[in-house]
Homo-oligomer: A and B are copies of this chain.
Amino acid sequence: MERILTTELTAHAGERVLLRGWLHRQRRLSRVSFLVLRDRAGVAQVVLSGGQPQSLGPETVLEVEGLAVATPQAPGGAEVHEAAVRVLAEPAAPPPVELHRPQPRESLPTRLDAAAVSLRHPAVRERFRLAARAVAAYRSELDALGFVEIHTPKLVGTATESGATVFRVDYFGRDAFLAQSPQLYKQTMVGVFERVYEIGPVFRAEPHETGRHLAEYVSLDAELAFIRDHRDVIDVLRRVVPAMIEAVGQAPPAEVPVVRFEDVRSGDEPDLSPADERRICAEHGELVFVEGFPTAKRAFYTHPDPERPEWSRGFDLLYRGVEIVTGSQRLHRYEDYRRVLAERGLPEAPFASYLDAFRYGMPPHGGFGFGLARFLAQALGLGNLREVTLFPRDRNRLQP
């Protein structure tokens, strides 16, 4: 007999069926005993007849054969009767977390320590199914726009963003670093494919122990050539981000306004504070672009506004009061790069192979990058990135 999934039970009402999964919960009433079987799709209630194993530990792996019966009061509208239960694998110990409650009750550190089993909680694992859907939506939108997916190295010879948060690797006896972003590579690749994206890990030696920082996260990056200015980059995000919001089961806002940094900052402040980000969303909508940040506050590759070079063509996208995406038009002229490196006191040598991309003819281009977990945390209303990262890494956590 072919195995079916718990969610297919109703469609098989009246038939004998085979289910496989984990013992999610067991309930004994005076005259009858139930078990709830969990598989990758959901859960199903199984009514135990006599002569079946009576004492099974939670998370026992089972195979259940029986009759699918439409039962309006059962979860999902059907349950299994006349069940024969076979144990496929027995747990060696009871799990340190409870998986059958509507939401996990244990503290976050307890759940992270026991990730191997706490991730099985239906409400928790659903977050990661939504993560996969959000990533699929991201790819689907960019594929439709002619972007090519690339894979660039994470072991790099030069710290590219800020030297303070770079991890050092013993690379055959010399120093290498873990890429803090694919920035330099994706810019190089617009010279090849014009439009590229990458989904991959980035690494930040973040000394902060907060809910908003992790030492490793999945970054969604894209870059496109032949733009007029950063507004063309914003137009790509206007397609990508609402599609991701829909993919995780939320309703994207009808309008996504663009406001100017100068118009929304607090007084003369050169950057936005977290309180500013919350205020801007409260005033302008749950998804708001802020453009025109001060050039001096942005990465060296950010293109200034040609009319007023102290203001940049850099922007952020705020979502429900938190910055989730950073992007900009980039510099594209070799001489501009040499000049900004000199102005910022950065040596040219470590950037030599990066500068090559601009030495040999690069069109106007721009792009963006954002953390998958940051997006998910905002979309699902979960405050801590550790709630939406399978095996989070921070200053104190390297296991599991």
Contact = CB atoms under 8 A, between A and B. Distances in A.
Contacts of A258: none
Interface string A87-107: 011111101000000000000
A354 B117 CA distance: 11
Given A89-B363, A172-B395, A188-B400, A150 B390 contact: yes
Interface of A: 3, 20, 22-23, 39-40, 57, 59-61, 88-93, 95, 113-117, 119-120, 125, 128-129, 131-132, 135-136, 143, 146, 148-158, 167-172, 176, 178, 185, 188-189, 191-195, 200-201, 203, 205, 207, 215-216, 218, 226, 332-335, 352-354, 356-364, 372, 390-393, 395, 398-400
Nearest to A59: B361
A335 to B, nearest CB: 7
Contact of A93 (B143, B170, B360): B360
B149 A194 contact: no
B148 A356 contact: no
Nearest to A90: B361
A132 B149 contact: yes
A157 B39 contact: no
17 contacts: A20-B363, A89-B363, A89-B364, A91-B361, A92-B359, A92-B360, A119-B192, A131-B151, A153-B393, A155-B167, A155-B393, A156-B398, A168-B170, A172-B395, A185-B390, A200-B200, A353-B400
Given A92-B334, A153-B216, A398-B155, A361 B61 contact: yes
Given A89-B362, A116-B359, A132-B148, 19 more contacts: A59-B361, A89-B332, A91-B360, A93-B360, A116-B188, A117-B357, A117-B360, A120-B192, A129-B148, A132-B150, A151-B390, A153-B391, A153-B392, A155-B216, A155-B393, A155-B398, A170-B170, A201-B201, A352-B399
Contacts of A357: 116-117
Contact of A193 (B40, B115, B151, B185): B40
B116 A356 contact: yes
A59 B334 CA distance: 13
Contact of A203 (B40, B59, B90, B155): B155
Closest 3 CB pairs of A and B: A353-B400, A59-B361, A40-B194
Contact of A176 (B95, B156, B398): B398
Contact of A116 (B23, B89, B113, B353): B353
B40 A335 contact: no
A340 to B, nearest CB: 15
A254 to B, nearest CB: 27
Contacts of A93: 359-360
Contacts of A205: 172
A199 to B, nearest CB: 8
Contact of A89 (B148, B167, B333, B352): B333
Chain B CB within 10 A, most for which of A146, A171, A392: A171
A191 B21 CA distance: 10
Contact of A400 (B354, B390, B392): B354
B3 A226 contact: yes
Nearest to A124: B192
Given A91-B359, A167-B170, A353-B400, A391 B176 contact: no
A166 to B, nearest CB: 10
B114 A356 contact: yes
A234 to B, nearest CB: 19
A399 B158 CA distance: 9
